[in-house]
Amino acid sequence: MKVVITDHEYMDLRYEENILNHDDIELVKMQCTTEEEVIEACKNADGIINLYAPLSRKVIDELKNCKVITRYGVGVDTVDIQAATEKGICVANVPDYGVDEVSDHALALIMSLLRKITTSNQIVKNGTWDVNHSKPIRRLNTLTIGLVGFGSIPRRLAMKLQVLGINIIVADPFVAEEVIVESNVTLVSLEELCKRADLISIHAPLTKGTKGMIGKEQIAIMKKGVYLVNTARGPVVDENALIEALQNGTVAGVGLDVIETEPIASDHPFLSMDNVTLTPHMAGYSEESAAEMRSKAALGITDVLLYGQYPKYLVNKDVKEKTELKPFITDKLYQF
C-alpha cells in the first residue's frame, strides 16, 4: 500500500516512519504546493498525510485507491470534506495534540496585550523610559474576555484566565449547556460578546460558515479600544476590516498567530503597525506536541489500512454510509 505525505515542515520524518514502518506500506515523502503536484503524487495512493497542500475536489476526484486522508493538526480546511465523503474516503485530524500549547500561546498574547509587554519593550529599546507611553493599562480582574468558540482549547484557556479573576463570556452555538455550567462561564450571542468584551480571543475552526465571521459589522459594535487575539485560523477574521479598525483606533491592538494568507507578505500593513503582535503560526508547537501530532496523524493511516477500522479522530462521520470498516478499537496506541 502506498502512503504519501503531501508536504511537511520538519527536519526529518522519524515519527511517521516509525509508525508506518511495515512491510505492506511504501511511504512517499513529497513537498507539493499545487493541485497538479498533489494529483501526480497521490493518484495511486492508498493513504495521504497532509499539511498545507490543497486536497480540493479536483484532486480528490483523481484519487483512484485512497481510503484515508489524515491531516497534521486540528483544522481540515485544506481538504474538501464533502468530496472525500462522496468518494468514501475517511478524513481524520489530530484535535487533541496541542490543547495546552495553543491555550498557553493565546494566554501569552492576551497578557502581552493587556500588560503592554511587546509595545513597552519596543518603546524602551527606542530610547524612552516612561510609563506614560504605555498607558492605559487596566486591572485584569475588572475585565471581560470573550471567547469565540468553546472547544477543548478555549475551555483550557478559560481555566487559566479564571485564576486571574477575569470574567469569561463565550459565543458558541454548538456547545452543550453542561459544559458551560461546568466551566463557570456565561454563554452569549456573538453580537453580545462583541459588545461586552474588553478582549476577544478567536477559537473557531475555519468553515464556510465561520469565514469572515469577525468582520466590519462585528467590529462596529465592539468597545472602542478592544483587543483581539487569533490563534485559530486567519480567514475567520476579515483582515481588511481589522486593519481599518486598527488604524482608526476602534481596535487598540491585536495578537495574531495566524493571518489570512501565510506566510506574511513583505509589504503587509501588519508589519508596520506598532499595535500588532505577530507569531508565525506556532501556537500548537512544543517538542512534545509535535511528536504527538505527527505520530497520531500516521496512526490514523494505520487505523484504516492495517486494522481495517475507522480512524480514532474521524472527521467526516457521514462516510460510514459509504464504507464498511470496523469501529475504532486500538486506543492504547494513542497514549502519549
What positions carry a catalytic annotation? 233, 262, 281
Instruction: Give burial (CB, 10 Å; 0-12/13-18/19+) of 192.
Output: middle
Asked if 250 contacts 226 with a C-beta cutoff of 8 angstroms, the reply is: yes
Asked if 169 contacts 188 with a C-beta cutoff of 8 angstroms, the reply is: yes
Provide the grid cell at 309. Answer: 477500522
Q: Cα separation of 249 and 123, whole Å?
A: 19
Classified as helix, coil or strand, 276 is: strand
Classified as helix, coil or strand, 113 is: helix
SS3 content of the chain, % helix, strand, coil (to 5): 40, 15, 45
Strands (E), the chain: 2-5, 26-29, 47-50, 68-71, 90-92, 144-148, 167-171, 186-187, 199-202, 226-230, 251-256, 276-278
Helix (H) and strand (E) counts in the chain: 12, 12
Length of the chain: 336
Q: Cα separation of 232 and 172, whole Å?
A: 14
Number of C-beta neighbours around residue 86 at 10 A? 16
Task: Give alpha helix (H) positions in 133-225.
Answer: 152-162, 177-183, 190-196, 216-220
